[in-house]
Chains A and B, each alone.
Chain A
Amino acid sequence: AQSVTQLGSHVSVSEGALVLLRCNYSSSVPPYLFWYVQYPNQGLQLLLKYTSAATLVKGINGFEAEFKKSETSFHLTKPSAHMSDAAEYFCAVSESGSARQLTFGSGTQLTVLP
């Protein structure tokens, strides 16, 4: 069975500071891993996706995530936060890669302080 845990339901960073959003997963097979972002009053958008091609995955808007099998983690980072990064971020896992088998984490609300 697959599951996702996002540590920290709320994270605050100052503008220009490092963003680190944590995601740990469990999966019985090599997983497909995703980060989605939800801006206020909008639907979710795909930030990046891990499909085993490379452990460091680069996404849109300067975000990247590193797959660490030994730690069962897929943490999301951005070197320098921008005010426009304020949003809710969801980690998700799928053992098959199929969207109908996606399991979402509970989300992390990112606040960027001026």
Chain B
Amino acid sequence: NAGVTQTPKFRILKIGQSMTLQCAQDMNHNYMYWYRQDPGMGLKLIYYSVGAGITDKGEVPNGYNVSRSTTEDFPLRLELAAPSQTSVYFCASSGQKNEKLFFGSGTQLSVL
């Protein structure tokens, strides 16, 4: 019962570096999402996907890219890390668009 798995759990980046946050789910869910959670704020949607090969922007997509080559995986790429991207990142999935979300345990990212 792995559910949604995110790696790494923690990462420190220097300004301008790039990295990929990994997300995988084993529930055969079509819908996958990336959120960021800033201190004292609610979650904000970065990108989402409704199936393999289909992605779309959420509320705060600038500075990020995603891909969805398989149903299981939904990686989030930061190309040029900036201090404003310091946040906790959560990946989530759902079977249908109106079903409940299953969340990963998060990645805490600091950009210094």
Asked if B45 is at the interface (CB within 8 A of a chain A CB), the reply is yes
How large, as a class, is the contact surface on chain A? 20 to 34
In the complex, which residues of chain A have a beta carbon less than 8 angstroms from the beta carbon of B102?
43
Check A100/B45 contact, CB under 8 A, given A43-B106, A44-B90.
yes
Contact B103 A43 (CB under 8 A): yes
Chain B residue, CB-CB nearest to A32: B98
Check A99/B42 contact, CB under 8 A, given A43-B90, A44-B90.
no
Whole-angstrom distance between the alpha carbons of A46 and B45 in the complex? 17
How does the 8 Å CB contact mask read for A1-35 relative to B, with 1 for contact and 0 for none? 00010000100000000000000000000001000
Q: Which of A73-114 contact B (CB under 8 A)?
A: 90, 92, 97-100, 102-107
Asked if B94 is at the interface (CB within 8 A of a chain A CB), the reply is yes
Whole-angstrom distance between the alpha carbons of A100 and B106 in the complex? 18
Asked if B58 is at the interface (CB within 8 A of a chain A CB), the reply is yes
Q: Which of B57-86 contact A (CB under 8 A)?
A: 58
Chain A residue, CB-CB nearest to B102: A43
How does the 8 Å CB contact mask read for B88-112 relative to A, with 1 for contact and 0 for none? 0010101001111111111000000
In the complex, which residues of chain A have a beta carbon less than 8 angstroms from the beta carbon of B4?
43
Asked if A42 is at the interface (CB within 8 A of a chain B CB), the reply is yes
In the complex, which residues of chain B have a beta carbon less than 8 angstroms from the beta carbon of A44?
43, 90, 92, 101, 103
Check A97/B98 contact, CB under 8 A, given A42-B105, A43-B104.
yes
Whole-angstrom distance between the alpha carbons of A48 and B40 in the complex? 22
In the complex, which residues of chain A have a beta carbon less than 8 angstroms from the beta carbon of B94?
99
Whole-angstrom distance between the alpha carbons of A105 and B42 in the complex? 5
Set B40, B58, B90: member contacting A100, Cβ < 8 A:
B58
Whole-angstrom distance between the alpha carbons of A43 and B2 in the complex? 13
Set A42, A46, A106: member contacting B100, Cβ < 8 A:
A46
Q: Which of A32-58 contact B (CB under 8 A)?
A: 32, 36, 41-46, 49
In the complex, which residues of chain B have a beta carbon less than 8 angstroms from the beta carbon of A46?
100-101
Q: Write 12 A-B pairs (CB below 8 A) sorted by A numbering.
A: A41-B106, A43-B92, A43-B102, A43-B105, A92-B42, A99-B31, A99-B48, A99-B98, A100-B31, A100-B33, A102-B43, A102-B101
